C-alpha cells in the first residue's frame, strides 16, 4: 500500500475523489498527509473529516521559495511518502524538490496537454475554439505542465459552453482520471521511454 502526500490550495474535490476511491477499494493507498499553502480552505476540512493528518505551510512569497520547498521536502521525507500528488496546488515546485523526488510527483491539469498549459486552461480552450477538451495526469518535471503523460480523458466542448460549464465537465473526468493514475503509478508496472509512459502488464 503506497503512502500518498496530497498537495492542495483550494476546494480539494480531487482530494475527495482519492479519499472516496480508497474507501471504495479501487485505490490501494493511504493518504499519509495533506499539505496546503493556505489555511481555512475546504480541502483541509475534507481531510480532517476523513481523519487524515494535515499540514499548513503558508506561502511566504517568492523570495522565500527555496526555503519553503526545503521545509516541504522535510515533511515528505518524515512521512516516508511514496507518491506526491498535486491536486489543485497552485504553486510551481522548485527544481530542487522535483530532483529530490524523481518520478514520484504527479499533477492533474484541466486540458489535453500539451495544449493549453498554465493557468485558465478552460478559458484558453474556449478562446481557441477547440471541439474537445479534457484533463491530463502527468509526471512533474522541471517545466510547467510538460512531464510525461500518464492518463488523459476527453470531453466535448459545446457552442454554448462558458468557462464554468466546461470546467465542471472536465472536473468530473478529473475525479476518474486521478485515482486511476495514482493506482497505475503505485502498481509500478510502467517505465518512461523518452516522453512516453509505457505500461507493462
Q: Is 77 a catalytic residue?
A: no
Dihedrals phi, psi of 123, to nearest 5 degrees:
-65, -40
Query: What is the C-alpha separation between 83 and 99, in angstroms, rounded?
Result: 14
Residue closest to 30 by CA, chosen among 46, 7, 6, 11: 6
**Angle ∠(193,30,51) on CA atoms, nearest 5:** 145
The C-alpha cell at 30 is 493511504
The packing angle between helices 121-128 and 163-187, to 10°, is 120
Alpha carbon distances (Å) from 92 to 14, 45, 97, 132: 18, 24, 11, 26
**Which among 77, 109, 138, 175 is annotated as catalytic?**
109
34: number of Cβ within 10 Å: 27
Classify burial at 183, counting beta carbons within 10 Å of its beta carbon; exposed 0-12, middle 13-18, buried 19 or more: middle
Residues designated catalytic: 109
Amino acid at each position: 500500500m503506497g503512502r500518498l502526500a496530497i498537495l492542495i490550495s483550494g476546494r480539494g474535490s480531487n482530494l475527495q475523489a482519492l479519499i472516496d476511491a480508497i474507501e471504495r477499494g479501487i485505490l490501494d493507498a493511504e493518504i499519509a498527509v495533506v499539505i496546503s499553502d493556505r489555511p481555512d480552505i475546504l480541502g483541509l476540512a475534507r481531510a480532517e473529516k476523513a481523519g487524515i493528518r494535515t499540514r499548513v505551510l503558508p506561502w511566504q512569497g517568492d523570495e522565500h521559495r527555496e526555503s519553503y520547498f526545503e521545509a516541504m521536502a522535510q515533511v515528505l521525507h518524515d512521512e516516508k511518502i511514496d507518491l506526491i500528488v498535486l491536486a489543485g496546488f497552485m504553486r510551481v515546485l522548485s527544481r530542487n524538490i522535483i530532483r529530490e523526488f524523481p518520478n514520484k510527483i504527479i499533477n492533474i491539469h484541466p486540458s489535453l496537454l500539451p495544449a493549453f498549459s498554465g493557468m485558465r486552461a478552460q478559458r484558453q480552450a474556449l478562446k481557441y475554439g477547440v471541439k474537445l477538451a479534457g484533463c491530463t495526469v502527468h509526471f512533474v518535471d522541471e517545466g510547467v505542465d510538460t512531464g510525461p503523460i500518464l492518463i488523459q480523458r476527453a470531453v466535448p466542448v459545446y457552442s454554448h459552453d462558458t468557462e464554468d460549464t466546461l470546467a465542471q465537465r472536465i472536473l468530473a473526468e478529473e475525479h476518474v482520471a486521478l485515482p486511476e493514475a495514482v493506482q497505475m503509478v503505485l502498481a509500478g508496472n510502467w517505465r518512461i521511454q523518452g516522453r512516453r509512459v509505457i505500461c507493462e502488464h
